[in-house]
Structure 1
Amino acid sequence: MQTVRDLLNQLWSEFRKVGISYDLAIIEHIAAFLLEINELKFPDETLQPRKPNHPNLNTEKIKQLLTEAANTAGGYAKLLDRHIIFSLPNMLAGGGYPTPRHIAKSMISLAQVESTHNVADFACGSGGLLVNYVSSMTLGIDISSEWARIAFANVKLHGFKNTIILNENALQTFNKQGEIYNLAIDRILMNPPFGEKIDAKLAETNSKQKIGSRSETVLFNLALQKLSFNGRAGVLAPSGVLFSSSTAEKNLRHQLVNENFLEAVVSFPKDAFQPYSPLQTHLLLFSKVEPSEQHLTWFFQVEQDGYPAGRGRDLTQEPSQPSDLPFLEAVWTKYNSDFDTLLPDETNPQLGIKWVTNDEICIGVICQGIGNNLENIKYQPFDSQTGQESPLLLVEVGADPPHQRINLQIPLDFLNNSDNNEQLETEEETETDIDIEELKAEEKAKQVIQLLSHPVKAVAISFSPQKEIAGLNQVKLLGASVAKSAIQEQAYDLRPETYIRTQTESNTIESPTALLAKIYRNQRQLAQRIDNLFGHLESPPITTQQLPSPLQAEIQPFGNLSQEQRKIWRKVCEKTEIVTDNEINNYHTAALFTLEELSNPDVNETTDVTRSTIDLLERMGVIVPVTIADPKTNEPLLFYRRVTQRDVWDLDSGTLNSGEESR
């Protein structure tokens, strides 16, 4: 039986046979065929997906392939939303790409969308944030006519009737008098394009204040403006929104913290939006309520999202690898419930405990100080040698007077891996070689792990399944909650790493097994370095090479660069130096430069476009990174330069030169 992917590959081939190769156009044409197969009518002809007008296109075969694919995928709606739309291979010009559906699911869960709510997305794209729940009314707006038509088809195939799709500029939509103009929205979910330019005057007219011209900032402000009182919004944003020093971003953060309730900031893994975007993306969850000093903001760092890292992830399939997203959603569901346990007792509670479960399995815990901050948390695995039969969380809570501390123990009996313990106790010695790495892992599993070392109001700690090795991978602090004043003290920095420090293993006296493992590892590293030195001795002497190395001028970027990317490449090409030598002709060599040197001098921070373009040029092999130690602080400084002749590997002669240099 053919898979959905096999059938879609055949489908794409039918379009390419007649010269239709633009992927978004193919997706729109397929959407039109899907609606025709399902005999769905349109009240608005402008939103009807366009059918291809080509006499040689085999439409009957296309319909046959779609019917087979729908039967395999589980229906026409799922076929379009989870498979056809994600056949788009790359981000389109203008920042267009579909929101990964596992991210959309988490956004909907965290926003707690209910059937009585009206919901809006001002940059709806394919409609992924519109079709995975039931609401009283749904509004989707997109400035792209192709995306608006695809979103409309997606909504129709899912059978939603109370949905309005508009092919407009969202800013202009709310400048018109009419039903939409005065609409107050209960829930807003949005993944706006990043770094696109929007008419600054139109944005200022709409918001009655200067908010710049960056698409993510302008649309974020629109969400703040149109959200109803007691409404909640979840908006995706690039890293710059969390800490940028530009006026628009700073004002946005002040408004979120001081005039609204910033409920949570979630940082997704860097590759969570691959294969479309390499930029790390963050979810800001906020509600429009009366501001209060009692409001606590959660900061989460999602380490795993269920898919492998890199561009090879298949978003048409459900996540198959470990994911922190179910824990995140479960924490949000549990957070506003009553405490399961009060410690040390109910008459004088200092610490509240809420157990986080999924399918009746405990996957974590929320610890919250009652009246005082949590000051310190350590994880102590079981240790049969000391008589500690179950793992513990050692929690230090602040008290009055301030110099006092209350230390509490939270038993984690369910984390005991009894099967492994019995195996360790009954396993007989054999004459096989000792597995040093395994012994090292066993010793590491017994070390105390520092999860928290700075004051916060509450934490969310996740537990991995019992069968996994104990240690850093088993117990992780993924979320921390802080008061508004703590954010203000950090100059409104909204990066989760500001409030969630990296957990570390406590310094302990190493056992003989651990020392033996370290000696074994160091010996292997020494042998590898000796092998490396032999390789250098066999290479041609550096004195025979021309230094500084001339530019490798024929190495240029390949593929189609955007206008902005070409502008950045021209700036990179200007970063050269002339080498003067009396014995040879003068020539150009590469000069070092930083990201900041390529940015617009009128803008205080490096743009996401600059970062992504430099990353692309490095992957293409036309520039290389250079790390130099600061002579005063010995801190590494990152530079870049164009490729020189010395960077090119001459495979015929056997000489290999490194593409990255350090000095």
Structure 2
Amino acid sequence: MVYIVIVGAVKRMITGEIKSKVDRLWTTFWNNGISNPLSVIEQISYLLFIKRLDDLELAQEKKANRLNKPITNPIFAVDKQHCRWSYFKNLTDSEEMLRIVRDKAFPFIKTLGTTGEDSTYVRHMKDAVFLIANPALLASVVGQIDQIPMEDRDTKGDLYEYMLSKLTTAGTNGQFRTPRHIIKMMVELMSPGAREIICDPACGTAGFLVAAAEYLRDLKDADGNLILNAPGNREHFNKEMFHGFDFDGTMLRIGSMNLMLHGIEDPKIEARDSLSEDHAGITEAFTLILANPPFKGSIEKSTIAKDLTKVISTTKTELLFIGLFLRLLKIGGRAAVIVPDGVLFGSSTAHKKIREVLVEQHKLDGVISMPSGVFKPYAGVSTAVLIFTKTGAGGTDEVWFYDMEADGLSLDDKRQPVEENDIPDLLKRWKVRNPETDTDRTGKAFFVPKDEIKANGYDLSINRYKEIEYQEVKYEPPKVILQKLRDLEAEIRADLDALEGLLG
């Protein structure tokens, strides 16, 4: 089956007016003492979830009235009608509103969720805490959220992404948000299909999973039909396609809400420390991995899953995660993952071993060198994207390298839009890459044979193979230069004599 993506499709983006409303909502929390960005997003997420439940119920009620039939499996039972957004948003008594939301509606969403089943949303909500204690704050926030138009999935998703963009400080354990345009680039490089089983083992806010979902929603077959409309594809998309792991409860809740607000019904988001022995056991389960795992140095050896240490004997997280990706992928499964530059050229035995494993035992498809400012203002670390296929039987003949020097934003802490952007060129060249023609090592993209990489100790840094063109600079003969210096000295003497004459 041939799939195509309609490039440049018109998607509604949030307007300046709506952004202003979100900014005002954010300021309201800050002015009332809730200033941690993660906490603000969590509290807004809970209220958005309650609102979404009521929106779903209202849609069911309209359909039931149209068909003159009762609602099957209502979300809100008769004795839970006061938990509905459409009920408490109209209360004039703010203290009564707080009592209902805090003591009734919030506990309701922690235990029942969308259908009364033990969904991932509900599991992650069990440890949730409602921080809004001021009746006036709640009334203000509910009123502001109600004024933000969120009728369609795209607007909800864009709003949530805009909120997540406000996470401007690095998290714990080396976590920080991957820029959305880099995530989108990696998804387009991998071109996921309709029956993929996608995993991000360090999912955080679930940005990679959301981007993959958006890509697939726009994907069309050769006849111009949306691939998700083909038999079975929509159900797979909603229930089996998306998987994410994280050990941070806040991230699990935010990631789940992010996916929910992008219209994914039942993503499998699990509380799991991916490298830990306590959570070992998942093997060969996924066809595609997209990830930017946290790089926090070393971890305690006794806590590392034994099957990972069989792949690579190390305590460094950046190397262990590569071993994890290989464990999680099915044979033939693919990965696009971000790694710190040290993975490419590190000289330790473990560094060399993991590169050898990728090149010799599997198929290393590509190495994309990214500029060091990509993750500013969070961090200035230099990074690269590794693209590989799990084969278990080798397959690397030549590796494609790309030197990405600009990503469309300034490479300083401000990250303002600029004209220089290699991403469109990168995506274009990736699709038409050819070892027979991509041989110019002075250019942006080129192939390097496996044997040459092996001879260089499996070094994967692009500078090892890229050739720099030096322009010949011609200088004048020494005697000519010496005469020019004498002439210049004579001019200086003349000026000094003139100045002395003026001083009399």
Change (3 A) 1:149 1:170: same
Change (3 A) 1:168 1:292: closer
Match of 2:331 among 224, 229, 232: 229
Tell me the equivalent position of 1:90: 169
Question: Are 2:421 and 1:323 equivalent residues in the alignment?
Answer: yes
| Aligned-pair identity (%) | 27
User: Contact 1:479/1:500 (CA < 8 Å) preserved in 2?
Assistant: no
Change (3 A) 1:290 1:123: closer
Structure 1 letter corresponding to 2:205? S
Q: Report the alpha carbon displacement of residue 31 of structure 1 after superposing the two structures with TM.
A: 1.7
CA deviations over 1:342-372 (Å, ceiling 9, x no partner): xxxxxxxxx95xxxxxxxxxxxxxx24xxxx
Q: Report the alpha carbon displacement of residue 481 of structure 1 after superposing the two structures with TM.
A: 0.5
Question: Are 2:22 and 1:22 equivalent residues in the alignment?
Answer: no
4+ residue segments displaced more than 4 Å: 1-5, 67-74, 172-177, 290-294
Residue correspondences, number: 377
Match of 1:113 among 188, 192, 196: 192
Question: Are 2:160 and 1:58 equivalent residues in the alignment?
Answer: no
C-alpha separation between the residues in 1 aligned to 2:269 and 2:388? 24
C-alpha separation between the residues in 2 aligned to 1:123 and 1:293? 27
User: Contact 1:28/1:50 (CA < 8 Å) preserved in 2?
Assistant: no
Change (3 A) 1:243 1:274: same
Q: Report the alpha carbon displacement of residue 70 of structure 1 after superposing the two structures with TM.
A: 5.4
Structure with the higher fraction of residues in strand conformation? 1
Structure 2 letter corresponding to 1:169? D
C-alpha separation between the residues in 2 aligned to 1:191 and 1:500? 26
Structure 2 letter corresponding to 1:112? S
Matches within 5 A, 1:80-159: 80-81=160-161, 83-134=162-213, 135=237, 136-159=240-263
C-alpha separation between the residues in 2 aligned to 1:333 and 1:485? 24
C-alpha separation between the residues in 2 aligned to 1:216 and 1:294? 22
Tell me the equivalent position of 1:161: 265
C-alpha separation between the residues in 2 aligned to 1:26 and 1:175? 30
Change (3 A) 1:173 1:306: farther
The SS at the match of 2:173 is coil
C-alpha separation between the residues in 2 aligned to 1:176 and 1:290? 20
C-alpha separation between the residues in 1 aligned to 2:432 and 2:305? 40
Tell me the equivalent position of 1:77: 157
C-alpha separation between the residues in 2 aligned to 1:293 and 1:156? 39
Question: Are 2:341 and 1:250 equivalent residues in the alignment?
Answer: no
RMSD (Å), alpha carbons: 3.2
Tell me the equivalent position of 1:193: 294
Match of 1:6 among 20, 28, 32: 20
Match of 1:37 among 51, 55, 71: 51
Match of 2:124 among 27, 43, 47: 47
Structure 2 letter corresponding to 1:150? I
C-alpha separation between the residues in 1 aligned to 2:337 and 2:461? 15
The SS at the match of 1:139 is strand
Match of 1:296 among 391, 398, 402: 398
Tell me the equivalent position of 1:184: 285
Change (3 A) 1:175 1:150: closer
TM-score, structure 2 length as denominator? 0.68
Match of 2:384 among 282, 294, 304: 282
Using CA pairs below 8 Å that are at least 6 residues apart, which structure has the higher relative contact order? 2
C-alpha separation between the residues in 2 aligned to 1:149 and 1:294? 40
C-alpha separation between the residues in 2 aligned to 1:246 and 1:216? 13
Tell me the equivalent position of 2:275: 171
Question: Are 2:461 and 1:495 equivalent residues in the alignment?
Answer: yes
TM-score, structure 1 length as denominator? 0.52
Structure 1, unpaired ranges of 5+: 337-350, 353-366, 369-373, 378-450, 453-476, 513-518, 531-663
Change (3 A) 1:79 1:50: farther
Change (3 A) 1:14 1:245: same
C-alpha separation between the residues in 2 aligned to 1:112 and 1:241? 25
Structure 1 letter corresponding to 2:190? A
Change (3 A) 1:162 1:330: farther
CA deviations over 1:527-553 (Å, ceiling 9, x no partner): xxx9xxxxxxxxxxxxxxxxxxxxxxx
Structure 2 letter corresponding to 1:479? A
Q: Report the alpha carbon displacement of residue 30 of structure 1 after superposing the two structures with TM.
A: 1.7
Tell me the equivalent position of 1:480: 446
User: Contact 2:293/2:318 (CA < 8 Å) preserved in 1?
Assistant: yes
Change (3 A) 1:53 1:63: closer
CA deviations over 1:609-661 (Å, ceiling 9, x no partner): xxxxxxxxxxxxxxxxxxxxxxxxxxxxxxxxxxxxxxxxxxxxxxxxxxxxx
User: Contact 2:29/2:35 (CA < 8 Å) preserved in 1?
Assistant: yes
User: Contact 2:277/2:306 (CA < 8 Å) preserved in 1?
Assistant: no
CA deviations over 1:439-467 (Å, ceiling 9, x no partner): xxxxxxxxxxxx73xxxxxxxxxxxxxxx
Q: Report the alpha carbon displacement of residue 301 of structure 1 after superposing the two structures with TM.
A: 1.1
Q: Report the alpha carbon displacement of residue 201 of structure 1 after superposing the two structures with TM.
A: 2.2
The SS at the match of 2:287 is strand
C-alpha separation between the residues in 2 aligned to 1:67 and 1:270? 41
CA deviations over 1:219-266 (Å, ceiling 9, x no partner): 221001111111111111111111112232221111111111111111
C-alpha separation between the residues in 1 aligned to 2:304 and 2:447? 33
Question: Are 2:311 and 1:214 equivalent residues in the alignment?
Answer: no
Structure 2 letter corresponding to 1:12? W
Change (3 A) 1:19 1:186: same
